[in-house]
């Protein structure tokens, strides 16, 4: 792998840069009112016949409503595809114009795009760039670090940089990023200011989210805001990596934009641009915790063949291997960054808690973490209960309890599961993962954003001992109709507040699913986000094999997944446990 970085500054007259590189004046014919700009051109990944590159334009002059960057190659480089810009090539000449969503460049504002290309022989950096007719030149002399030397100020792909070596637990001693977009929505709700200062994850659930959707904050904007929140201490930014080909093969509500065979697009237009932004030296002091592709690998274990929960879509994704290849690629590229901590999603106890599921899950996780370029060192830990409702702890009964000689595992609710809550599941899974070769310092995360189950329906002690079912149903704080119900659950409440190191082996309680964001629409809603209508979000639906053919327990009048759901937010606050002040 090689990584080339060159900074180019347009100017009206000859200048000398502080790095020692000569910055050349615009040639005759260039506008005398030229707008200064900075162009950052990086070769990210290079192999014998091709490479990917990332380009960032920073506008240092008057605001622009559109832009066009042009350059020519000295060699035989041929661009095959690009992302976040309209990239075209004629002979050696290349032109990149803005997309509709990133044309605005304020003074000091930036836009980024990338591309994949082929080449043979040498792959020299273009010598000349023009932005809207303004020529930018740079002297690539001995002061330029070049493709293999990261230089004294660039931490490079393997140097931890100012952040130092990775922390054993990134959450310890660190603040966690408060997403200002979610915070504003929460604060606008009656009573919402009680939790609007809590940290929540940023979901990168489509390619457009990298640069911001409909004027919203993109990844770089979030990271810039995180630097402000960080101050002089440590800060964790939580990102959900969520755009696999054929995403969520068992739940239509969270289907994505990429088709089952769009693995190359996932790599080049989604993971590569994210990696490029995160690798920028100014973000090296942030701790980035990534939640890798919720529900994907668990679906391969339980819904891809041989059971009554099998779906054709999951069979397809197991057959073509693109979930595994995509997750491995994400682990490899993101894990190479010294300040990134990858946490693989591991479902929840009501999904994988049976031995018949847990053993194969560990095998699946180990396979993905040791193939297609990934290694176990790319994995900081695993996360359970992402966007789900299972309690961190069931305080009134244990899986080892018995009633009248019957184990609680025989109850209809537990259904022979080995676990009854998420913390015991997380620690049990952790032991098996370490035994399978993962690092002994592996850390677990638990999403507690909606698993509090407070309010008047919360049991205050164990249930009656008249039968095993009466005991379990009277004891459990999880008030769902069935543990397989996952969509906008009626009666749910906010759970434990985000907390670092709440128990040995648990890195943190986190709010990955931002409270108030819908799980899915309760009736069909046309949309351009690739999201379907899943009957598990319909409160009138009688269920399927994955929830024991029980009612869904979903709230009515729900919007599309990820959209703001005020009624749910109010209920979550009302039923919060611990209660809100």
User: pLDDT per residue over 243-295, tens digit each?
Assistant: 999 999 998 888 899 999 999 999 999 999 999 999 999 999 999 999 999 99
In the chain, what percentage of residues exceed pLDDT 90? Answer: 71
C-alpha distances out from residue 285 to 219, 337, 340, 549, Å = 16, 12, 10, 49
- What pLDDT is attached to residue 13? 28
Strands 234-241 and 202-204: parallel
pLDDT bracket for residue 25 (50, 70, 90) = very low
Q: Is the model more confident about 7 or about 387?
A: 387
CATH of 163-394+420-456+493-534+557-574 among 3.20.20.140, 2.30.40.10, 3.20.20.40, 3.40.50.2000: 3.20.20.40
Q: Is the model more confident about 84 or about 152?
A: 84
Strands 406-407 and 134-137: unpaired
Q: How confident is the model over 228-249, as a mean pLDDT?
A: 96
pLDDT above 50: residue 303: yes
Give the DSSP letter of residue 497. P
Q: How confident is the model over 201-207, as a mean pLDDT?
A: 96
pTM (two decimals): 0.74
Residue range(s) occupied by CATH 3.20.20.40 in the chain? 163-394+420-456+493-534+557-574
Query: Do the Cβ atoms of 513 and 449 come closer than 8 Å?
Result: yes
pLDDT bracket for residue 227 (50, 70, 90) = very high
- What pLDDT is attached to residue 47? 74
Between vectors from CA 48 to CA 43 and to CA 49, what angle results, nearest 5°?
Answer: 80
Q: How confident is the model over 17-37, as a mean pLDDT?
A: 36
Query: Do the Cβ atoms of 187 and 516 come closer than 8 Å?
Result: no
Q: Which residues pair with 64 in a beta bridge?
A: 105
20: left (phi over 0), alpha (psi -120 to 50) or beta: left
Q: Give, to the nearest 10 degrees, the angle between helix 322-335 and helix 312-320.
A: 60
Query: Which residues are identified as catalytic?
Result: 295, 519
Task: Say which range, 4-18, 215-229, 319-333, 457-471, has the weakest mean pLDDT.
Answer: 4-18
Between vectors from CA 316 to CA 315 and to CA 320, what angle results, nearest 5°?
Answer: 120
Whose CA is closest to 82, among 69, 66, 64? 69
- What pLDDT is attached to residue 11? 30
DSSP E strands, 119-248: 128-131, 134-137, 174-176, 202-204, 234-241
In the chain, what percentage of residues exceed pLDDT 70? Answer: 89
Across the chain, what does the average pLDDT equal? 87
Query: Do the Cβ atoms of 41 and 125 come closer than 8 Å?
Result: yes
Query: Do the Cβ atoms of 378 and 446 come closer than 8 Å?
Result: no
Phi, psi values for residue 367, rounded to 5°: -60, -50
How many beta carbons lie within 10 A of that of residue 355, not counting itself?
12
pLDDT above 50: residue 15: no
Query: What whole-number distance in Å separates Cα of residue 174 and Cα of residue 163?
Result: 12
Render pLDDT for 544-575 as a digit per residue (tens, 0 to 9): 888 889 999 999 999 999 999 999 999 999 99
Q: CB pairs under 8 A, 24+ apart, for 561-564?
A: 561/253, 561/254, 561/517, 561/518, 561/519, 561/520, 561/521, 561/531, 562/203, 562/205, 562/517, 562/518, 562/529, 563/517, 563/518, 564/185, 564/516, 564/517, 564/518
- What pLDDT is attached to residue 24? 25
CATH architecture designation of domain 4-137:
Sandwich (2.60)
- What pLDDT is attached to residue 481? 96
Residue range(s) occupied by CATH 2.60.40.290 in the chain? 4-137
Of 3-17, 83-97, 358-372, 524-538, the range with the highest mean pLDDT is 358-372
Query: Do the Cβ atoms of 310 and 358 come closer than 8 Å?
Result: no
Query: What whole-number distance in Å separates Cα of residue 16 and Cα of residue 13?
Result: 10
Render pLDDT for 359-401 as a digit per residue (tens, 0 to 9): 999 999 999 999 999 999 999 999 999 999 999 999 999 999 9
Give me 93's structure tokens: 């000449």
Whose CA is closest to 137, among 5, 281, 6, 4? 6
pLDDT bracket for residue 117 (50, 70, 90) = confident
Contacts for 226 with CB less than 8 Å, ≥ 6 apart: 177, 235, 237, 286
Give the DSSP letter of residue 517. B
- What pLDDT is attached to residue 23? 28
Render pLDDT for 431-489 as a digit per residue (tens, 0 to 9): 999 999 999 999 999 999 999 999 999 999 999 999 999 999 999 999 999 999 999 99
Query: What whole-number distance in Å separates Cα of residue 156 and Cα of residue 44?
Result: 11
């Amino acid at each position: 792998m090689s990584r080339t970085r060159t900074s180019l500054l347009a100017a009206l007259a000859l200048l000398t840069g502080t790095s020692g590189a000569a910055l050349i004046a615009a040639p005759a014919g260039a506008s005398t009112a030229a707008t200064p700009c900075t162009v950052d051109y990086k070769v990210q990944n290079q192999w014998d016949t091709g490479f990917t590159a990332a380009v960032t334009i920073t506008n240092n002059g008057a605001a622009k409503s559109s832009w066009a960057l042009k350059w020519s190659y000295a060699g035989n480089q041929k661009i095959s595809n690009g992302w976040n810009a309209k990239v075209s090539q004629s002979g050696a000449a290349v032109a990149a114009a803005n997309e509709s969503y990133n044309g605005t460049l304020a003074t000091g504002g930036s836009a980024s795009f990338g591309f994949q290309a082929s080449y043979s022989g040498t792959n020299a950096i273009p010598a000349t760039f023009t932005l809207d007719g303004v020529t930018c030149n740079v002297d690539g002399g001995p002061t330029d670090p070049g493709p293999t030397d990261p230089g004294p100020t660039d931490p490079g792909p393997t140097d931890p940089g100012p952040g130092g070596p990775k922390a054993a637990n990134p959450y310890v001693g660190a603040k966690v990023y408060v997403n200002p977009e979610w915070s504003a929505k929460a604060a606008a709700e009656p009573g919402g200011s009680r939790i609007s200062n809590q940290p929540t994850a940023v979901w990168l659930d489509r390619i457009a989210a990298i640069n911001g959707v409909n004027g919203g904050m993109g990844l770089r904007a979030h990271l810039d805001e995180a630097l402000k929140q960080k101050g002089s201490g440590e800060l964790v930014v939580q990102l959900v990596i969520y755009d696999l080909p054929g995403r969520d093969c068992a739940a239509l509500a969270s289907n994505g934009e990429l088709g089952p065979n769009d693995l190359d697009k996932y790599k080049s237009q989604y993971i590569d641009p994210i990696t490029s932004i995160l690798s920028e030296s100014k973000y090296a002091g942030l701790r980035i915790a990534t939640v890798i592709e919720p529900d994907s690998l668990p679906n391969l274990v339980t819904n891809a063949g041989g059971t009554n929960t099998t779906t054709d879509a999951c069979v397809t994704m197991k057959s073509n291997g693109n979930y595994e290849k995509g997750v491995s690629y994400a682990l490899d590229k993101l894990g190479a960054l010294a300040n990134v901590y990858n946490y693989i999603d591991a479902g929840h106890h009501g999904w994988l808690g049976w031995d018949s599921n847990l053993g194969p899950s560990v095998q699946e996780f180990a396979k993905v973490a040791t193939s297609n370029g990934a290694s176990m060192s790319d994995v900081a830990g695993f996360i359970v209960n992402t966007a789900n409702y299972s309690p961190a702890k069931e305080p009134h009964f244990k899986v080892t309890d018995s009633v009248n000689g019957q184990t609680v595992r025989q109850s209809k609710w537990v259904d022979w599961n080995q676990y009854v809550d998420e913390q015991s599941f997380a620690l049990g899974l952790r032991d098996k993962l370490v035994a399978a070769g993962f690092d002994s310092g592996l850390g677990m995360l638990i999403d507690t954003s909606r698993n509090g189950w407070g309010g008047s329906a919360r049991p205050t002690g164990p249930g009656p001992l008249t039968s095993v079912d009466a005991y379990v149903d009277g004891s459990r704080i999880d008030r769902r109709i069935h543990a397989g119900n996952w969509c906008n659950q009626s009666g749910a409440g906010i759970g434990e507040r985000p907390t670092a190191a709440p128990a040995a082996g648990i890195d943190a309680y986190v709010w990955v699913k931002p409270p108030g964001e819908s799980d899915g629409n309760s009736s069909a809603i046309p949309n351009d986000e690739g999201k379907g209508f899943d009957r598990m979000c319909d409160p009138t639906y009688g269920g399927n094999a994955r929830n024991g053919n029980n009612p869904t327990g979903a709230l009515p009048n729900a919007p599309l997944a990820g959209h703001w759901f005020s009624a749910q937010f109010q209920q979550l606050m009302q039923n919060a446990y611990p209660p809100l002040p």
